[in-house]
Structure 1
Amino acid sequence: MESQKIIFTATPGETLKNMLENFSFDTLFILCDTHTQKFALPEISKNISTQAQYITIEAGDTYKTLQTLVHVWNELSHKGASRKSLLINLGGGMVTDLGGFAAACFKRGIRFINIPTTLLGAVDAAVGGKTGINFNGLKNEIGAFRPADTVIVSTQFFQTLPQNELLSGYAEMLKHGLIDNPATYRSLLDFDLSMPNWEKLLPLLKESIQVKERIVAEDPFEKGIRKALNLGHTIGHAFESLSHKRETPIPHGFAVAWGFICELLLSHRYLKFPSETISELAAYIYRHYRAFPITCKDYETLYELMTHDKKNEAGYINFTLLQTIGKPVIDCHVDKEEIFVAFDLYRDLFKL
């Protein structure tokens, strides 16, 4: 898989303008959702001298569907896109995931640039080459590996985010700290999320993205160590899918935060991960994210949702667990009973 260029900048509009001068394309398309059309597109469009065609989709993960994907393809087709067209995906993870997949398939692949407008989109979805849509109520069930040609990352777009959006992205940064090293992890715990210093956040974000870059470069198609990036996601995706079944969707990063508490509890059981670290992190998570409410009646449903995880092999649910901070262990097979014990302990930690 091709590597992607990532640019960190305080002036994303000017950066894009300069970059487009070095790109060869016949038509330019900009994909955004109803939120980024209002809050982010003006900053971008005022810096573009090239005539652009605009495609707008509804905002929110519930629209990350086949129907929305078909709409984007129809728009590209009706507006004259060719194999030499360039697509700019301006938005959060939903836009970069769906837009990247649309570009990967349209005329067998057109070039695209990601400009993430959420912290979660920057640290997770826009980088690493995964694209896709939700299908049959399951997260990212259909997709392809296809990196953007360039990703432009700027904290300028994050300053108008609701606190929940900021927290959602920060959970993925915490995950990168957990799988990377204690110093990175500690610096993230010490950052003041209630009054973010955007200048200080940019280098933390850069360091976090570089953790993912190093892992993706080593294992682009998730055959080995890239599975470390799934810490918290096996159970987190189940929490997220259950929230959609309840028709009370939770932010992705919140689901991951609660998911890696459960998976660290499994790490303690199987790999002796330090219990004091779990207690400290659980207190941090509860303080910032509260808790996802589950009862023992939800266990079987959550387990069934986990059986659909794409990382599973030969009938086993595959987990990434931690031996200690910075030492992930991939392809861990966990007994169903132990998963249910982890749910019990999660409920105890969060007083559910």
Structure 2
Amino acid sequence: MSGSTPEQPAPAAYLPLLFGFALNQIAGVTSRLGVPDLLGEKALTAEELATGTGAHPGFLLRLLRAATAAGLLTQDAEGRFALTPLGGMYRTDSPVQAAPLDAMHAAPAVWQAWGALEQSVRTGQPAFELVHGTGLFDHLKGAPELAAVFHSAMAAGSAVQLPAITKGFDFSRFAHVTDVGGGNGTHLAAILAANPHLRGTVFDTANGILEAPEVLAAAGVADRCTTEAGSFFEHVPAGADAYLLKNILHDWNDDENRRILDNCRTAMGPNGRVVVFTSVLSEGRPDQDPVEALGAAVFDIEMMVVTTGRERTLTEFEHLFAAAGLRLAQVTPLPCPFLYYALEAVPA
């Protein structure tokens, strides 16, 4: 016997696993102090940044050094700090905004829920409910500051996903689409702007669509779009060619999704379609980027922590559609991170 031992994993492999929570806070606190916006295209000293942020100079310097080691900043020989391209994602004027997503994950209510992940796995109950006694969406009704952070984070995610949807999915087949759970209309406004022939309806709760008329008007599509208030657990408007569900089904469990899909199936005609825009969990395909697969898998755990929902594999989506009298007819990969697809279902 040689007495050899397996090769020791490199620190790059295990540091994110051991200290991912710390890296999240290093990036988040750097962002929330306003460092990325203060730097912009400039280089500043720690003293100048302390003045601009109002932070403790010595403690801020230590944070800046950690942010530099994490790849968010650089430091020159004179001690001045500047943003890297990665750090630039935390600027408020960045086309791809990391700051709102970080603010959501670092919010105390969400941070505490992640701390209950083990109990969630042991009990099968969402971690957010275990910690706060209610689900995320009910909690948001009484937490306006967190609700604002949540909606900002969702908008940041949409800023990445919407171009992929408008460019990667063919809407030319449809005359009228209904965006189910469409919120303030940002999603549908972008689709209508990119497809001048199309008409649409934004369907969501009364609170959800409050700002939709203003958003639709600003996008120049108000004359081609209506809004309707209601609950997708009770009904959806009839008569559309396609019912769009963007990042909706992953918020809910299978029984809740059957109610949503049943209502879409009831509302649509024999040639109608349900189009689900969503990440799809990897089923071990060798052609899939492992980083993309990891992103989708982490989203699934996030759903476990904060909602009753989950991400799903294509096979699981097929079962979900079948339970609502639908059949998965077409799968379109979209140019968007984390295995994002358009799944089209038709009457079975």
Larger Rg over CA atoms: 2
TM-score > 0.5, shorter chain as reference: no
Query: Structure 2 length normalisation: TM-score?
Result: 0.28
Compare relative contact order (CA 8 Å, sep 6+) and give the higher one, 1 or 2: 1
